[in-house]
Amino acid sequence: MWQQRVFIGNMQRFCLVEIGSGTSAGDVLNMVDNQGALEQTPGSGGWMLWEVSQDFGMERPIRNFEMLNDVCGAWNSDKTVNLLVIKKTLLAPLLSSRAMPTSSPKCSGYVQHEYKRGKWQKRWMELREHSLWLSKRDTGKDAVFLCSLNNFDAFYVTRVHKAPKPYVFSVKSTDSLTYFEDTADYVHVFSCGESEGKNWLEKILLARSYVLYQERHVVSAATAATAGGSSASAALQRSGTRKRPAQPLVTVPKPEMTPTTFEPAAGSLLARR
């Protein structure tokens, strides 16, 4: 368990909450709400906990079923610049467990990809099989794998970025930066029109939700199966076998032996004796 500051709204105030290995973002929202810190102001959207990654100048909403131990564990421990902020967003209904898609979303279109800092190139991007692929043409024949949403998520870019298009978003790894030999593989930045960019963000966020929900469902099912198997094994254990005295299955009467006389043949060796 550790204590974590959770800022609210415009970051002028905060609450201290205790976070453990099993604390989810939804748990934190409930704790802060129980302290009376969340005002029920009119307006669309709902309260969500956000990860503010100030070291990269970006932020993302944290789904209510995500574990904060995983989120905060990926932060750089040498820099205490990242934050948790609660604020309202229109994405709250979209990213709830009740709105989970039945299959991983797909999306495709041209974007500007920052392949090197300050260097952009037009690429056809595809979201399929909860992964991102880049190719030069919309045929997708030369598609190159970029990243998997098993360990990447969509982020809003908050830092001013000189980009060829007005809307900038990114996908960043949810793992620690120490796992990457090349930091260029840790975060990927894109630029496009505003409507296209918002659509990309929603589709990627949903695809990541699908992956997280499936992983959680499989792990829960496996844990339940293991626990059920143990109890079933215990229930099916044989009771101790009672020893019975050895006894024949069938009583066989002893045959009666009758004496017989033996007359050796004439001329045989026995007759000579």
Q: Which residue has the higher pLDDT, 183 or 203?
A: 203
3-state secondary structure of 208: helix
- Phi/psi zone of residue 109: left (φ > 0), alpha (ψ -120 to 50 degrees), beta? left
37-83 pLDDT, tens digit each: 887 766 668 999 999 999 899 999 999 999 999 998 888 777 678 99
pLDDT of 68 reads 93
Going from N- to C-terminal start, the domains of the chain cover: 2-95, 107-220
pLDDT of 62 reads 97
pLDDT of 263 reads 62
pLDDT of 93 reads 92
pLDDT of 113 reads 97
- What confidence tier does 22 reach under pLDDT thresholds 50, 70, 90? very high
| CA–CA distance, 122 with 124 (Å, rounded to integer) | 7
Q: Is 237 exposed, middle or buried (0-12, 13-18, 19+ CB in 10 A)?
A: exposed
CATH 2.40.50.180 fits 107-220, yes or no: no
- What confidence tier does 261 reach under pLDDT thresholds 50, 70, 90? low
Q: 12-26, 111-125, 199-213, 234-248: which has the minimum mean pLDDT? A: 234-248
Q: 75-89, 155-169, 216-230: which has the minimum mean pLDDT? A: 216-230
pLDDT of 257 reads 55
Is residue 231 pLDDT above 50, yes or no?
no
Topology agreement, domain 2-95 and domain 107-220 = no
pLDDT of 156 reads 96
Most confident of 73-82, 165-174, 236-245: 165-174
| CA–CA distance, 261 with 75 (Å, rounded to integer) | 108
Q: 40-44, 191-195, 238-242: which has the minimum mean pLDDT? A: 238-242
Residue at token pair 């992964």: 131
pLDDT of 253 reads 55
Q: What is the CATH number of domain 2-95?
A: 3.10.20.90
Averaged pLDDT score across all residues of the chain? 83
Contacts for 23 with CB less than 8 Å, ≥ 6 apart: 67, 68, 69
Mean pLDDT score, 204-208: 96
